[in-house]
Amino acid sequence: MFWYTDGYQHPPVIVDEQEAVPMWNSLLFKMPSNELLLFYKLGHEVQKYGSCSNLALCLMHEGRLVGDGRRVAEM
């Protein structure tokens, strides 16, 4: 994930490092508190994404990773 502030691009941030597991359909959502939620799907078979067990979440605040990439079902 890249972060821009005042026209400056900060170095990329790695939000999840699972070996050999593809990550798909990323979605950013900005909270009223300015925290940024990053949702993404994990897994090899896109057709089986019917449940939240394959959905992960990272929390960013002011360009810094606050939480790790946890599956939503584990929260």
Print the SS3 string covering 3-68.
Answer: EEECCEEECCCCCCCCCCCCEEEEEEEECCCCEEEEEEEECCCHHHCCCHHHEEEEEEECCEECCC
pLDDT digits (tens, 9 = 90+) for 21-60: 777 777 788 888 877 777 777 777 766 655 555 566 666 6
Higher-pLDDT residue of 44, 72: 44
Q: So where are the chain's domains?
A: 3-74
How many Å apart are CA 32 and CA 16, to the nearest integer? 24
pTM: 0.58
